[in-house]
């Protein structure tokens, strides 16, 4: 409740009881609440207990003078801005100087003019109301600021989580592919194997055949579900990526592990996966896991586009007089339309793939950018596609990236 809706409370401090009674009557008749003190110590005590809105303070009091009380009022943070009117009896000019030094807001000389007293009380209470409002707003503002800070830090954390999730999701989606293909191959292989068995052995092995069928079905179902769920997550966190973690890295090793993961799928389609010139490349500072993603995405994109008998070739060479290694992933596939080609590396990627998110090439570009390289694509429908990108030997320091 503020002072506009409640009665203001005034502390009257005077060692002469007759003066206290006079001021109490005058203020209460005019609608104010009052509390009284007849010494400086009592006044300080009332300030704590009654929390008045204004103090009428007699200057001349034994033990503790009005000046001293006023100085103490100003020293306390809670009462530093509390309006104080000093009541002076002798040599008003001299007492005012002391009063101003002690922090008084206004002065009244005895004998007191009642109208003047009421006018000054009203005026100082108006100022107090404004002070109180400013204080309340400052408190609210500080509270909002605190809430905003907490929200911003929560949002930053959330964005970081979302970025990591985008990355992991795409990786899981890619890595589940060999499981799907492997299961299909296993199913076909087992079927052929059981079909080749002589009649009597086939009958004996019926239970194993059923069990194998059940297992491959279970693998198929589970991996299909994982693909669906992961695609849902991918859709939620699209367009986000995490900052890289640089260390010394041999690209040839990274490409070999990508080829190992995809070889089964490629062999099944009779597609040759080859490398050229990677063994002689110097080590570079790179995020190895991200680099795996780059090659994995490019090869994984190429394989479904290449007809049986075709190939995908990963090449690497050091650019003469430069600090870059130039890589290319070239396939002999169907190529892509200019519409698809122009949409690559942008927010409006066109995905022609069943279950595709269009995140793959975006991630590739993000990683290459984060390593300070560039990427381009050349593609001709019916002839094939080549992704070419550069990676500098030296990468920016991790702390510079995170700054």
State in angstroms the smallest separation of the CB of 224 from Mg ion.
18
Q: What are the structure tokens assigned to 269, written together? A: 């389609």
**DSSP code for 333:** S
Out of ligand ATP, Mg ion, none, what residue 359 binds, judged by CB under 5 to 8 A for its kind, is ligand ATP
Question: Count of CB atoms within 10 A of residue 103's CB?
Answer: 18
- Residue corresponding to tokens 């490409």: 255
CA distance 245 to 159: 18
SS3 state at 10: strand
Question: Count of CB atoms within 10 A of residue 257's CB?
Answer: 13
CA distance 29 to 227: 83
In the complex, residue closest to ligand ATP by CB: 360
CA distance 55 to 35: 10
List Cα–Cα distances, 182 to 214, 217, 302, in angstroms.
Answer: 15, 12, 19
- Contact between 385 and ligand ATP by CB under 6 A: the answer reads yes
**339: CB partners within 8 A, 6+ apart:** 350
Q: 26: burial class by Cβ within 10 Å (0-12, 13-18, 19+)? A: middle
Residue from the set 12, 117, 314, 336 that interacts with ligand ATP by CB under 6 A: 336
State in angstroms the smallest separation of the CB of 298 from Mg ion.
8
Closest alpha carbon to 42 in 77, 69, 80, 79? 69
- Residue corresponding to tokens 């130039």: 326
CA distance 276 to 299: 15
Out of Mg ion, ligand ATP, none, what residue 336 binds, judged by CB under 5 to 8 A for its kind, is ligand ATP
Binding track over 289-318 against Mg ion, x by CB under 5 A: ------------x-----------------
Contact 54, 11 (CB under 8 A): yes
Out of Mg ion, ligand ATP, none, what residue 126 binds, judged by CB under 5 to 8 A for its kind, is none
Out of Mg ion, ligand ATP, none, what residue 305 binds, judged by CB under 5 to 8 A for its kind, is ligand ATP
- Contact between 333 and ligand ATP by CB under 6 A: the answer reads yes
State in angstroms the smallest separation of the CB of 341 from ligand ATP.
8
Task: Choose between 242 and 300: whose C-beta lies nearer to ligand ATP.
Answer: 300
- Contact between 361 and ligand ATP by CB under 6 A: the answer reads yes
Residue from the set 360, 362, 363, 365 that interacts with Mg ion by CB under 5 A: 360
CA distance 160 to 58: 65
- Contact between 66 and Mg ion by CB under 5 A: the answer reads no
Task: Choose between 2 and 338: whose C-beta lies nearer to ligand ATP.
Answer: 338
- Contact between 297 and ligand ATP by CB under 6 A: the answer reads yes
- Contact between 356 and ligand ATP by CB under 6 A: the answer reads yes
State in angstroms the smallest separation of the CB of 253 from ligand ATP.
23
- Contact between 351 and ligand ATP by CB under 6 A: the answer reads yes
Site for ligand ATP in 304-323 (CB under 6 A): 305
Out of Mg ion, ligand ATP, none, what residue 258 binds, judged by CB under 5 to 8 A for its kind, is none
Task: Choose between 66 and 360: whose C-beta lies nearer to Mg ion.
Answer: 360
Query: How do the residues of the chain divide into helix, strand and coil, expressed in percent and rounded to 5?
Result: 55, 15, 30
User: For binding to Mg ion (CB under 5 A), which residues are involved?
Assistant: 301, 360
User: For binding to ligand ATP (CB under 6 A), which residues are involved?
Assistant: 297, 301-302, 305, 331, 333-334, 336, 340, 344, 349, 351-353, 356-361, 385
């Amino acid at each position: 409740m503020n002072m506009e809706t409640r009665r203001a409370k005034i502390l009257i401090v005077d060692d002469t009881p007759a003066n206290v009674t006079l001021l109490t009557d005058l203020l209460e008749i005019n609608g104010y609440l009052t509390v009284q003190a007849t010494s400086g110590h009592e006044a300080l005590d009332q300030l704590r207990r009654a929390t008045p809105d204004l103090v009428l303070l007699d200057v001349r009091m034994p033990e503790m003078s009005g000046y001293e009380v006023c100085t103490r009022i100003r020293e306390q943070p809670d009462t530093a801005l509390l309006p104080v009117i000093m009541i002076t009896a002798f040599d008003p000019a001299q007492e005012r100087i002391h009063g101003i030094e002690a922090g008084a807001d206004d002065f009244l000389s005895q004998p007191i003019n009642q109208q003047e007293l009421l006018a000054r009380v009203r005026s100082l209470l108006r100022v107090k109301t404004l002070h109180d409002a400013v204080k309340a707003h400052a408190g609210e503002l500080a509270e909002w600021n605190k809430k905003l800070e907490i929200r911003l830090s929560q949002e930053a954390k959330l964005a970081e989580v979302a970025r990591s999730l985008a990355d992991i999701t795409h990786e899981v989606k890619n890595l589940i592919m060999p499981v799907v293909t492997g299961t299909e191959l296993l199913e076909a292989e087992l079927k052929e194997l059981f079909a080749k068995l002589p009649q009597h052995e086939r009958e004996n092995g019926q239970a194993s055949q059923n069990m194998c069928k059940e297992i491959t079905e279970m693998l198929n179902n589970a991996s299909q579900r994982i693909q669906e769920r992961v695609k849902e997550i991918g859709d939620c966190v699209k367009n986000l990526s995490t900052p890289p973690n640089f260390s010394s890295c041999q690209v040839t090793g990274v490409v070999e592990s990508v080829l190992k993961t995809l070889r089964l799928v490629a062999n099944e389609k009779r597609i040759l996966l080859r490398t050229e010139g990677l063994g002689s490349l110097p080590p570079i500072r790179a995020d190895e896991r991200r680099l795996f993603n780059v090659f994995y995405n490019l090869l994984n994109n190429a394989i479904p586009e290449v007809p049986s008998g075709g190939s995908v070739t990963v090449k690497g060479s050091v650019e003469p007089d430069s600090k870059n290694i130039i890589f290319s992933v070239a396939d002999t596939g169907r190529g892509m339309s200019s519409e698809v080609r122009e949409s690559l590396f942008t927010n409006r990627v066109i995905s022609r793939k069943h279950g595709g998110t269009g995140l793959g090439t975006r991630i590739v570009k993000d990683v290459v950018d984060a390593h300070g390289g560039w990427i381009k694509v050349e593609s001709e429908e019916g002839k094939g596609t080549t992704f070419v990108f550069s990676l500098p030997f030296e990468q920016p320091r991790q702390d510079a990236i995170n700054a």
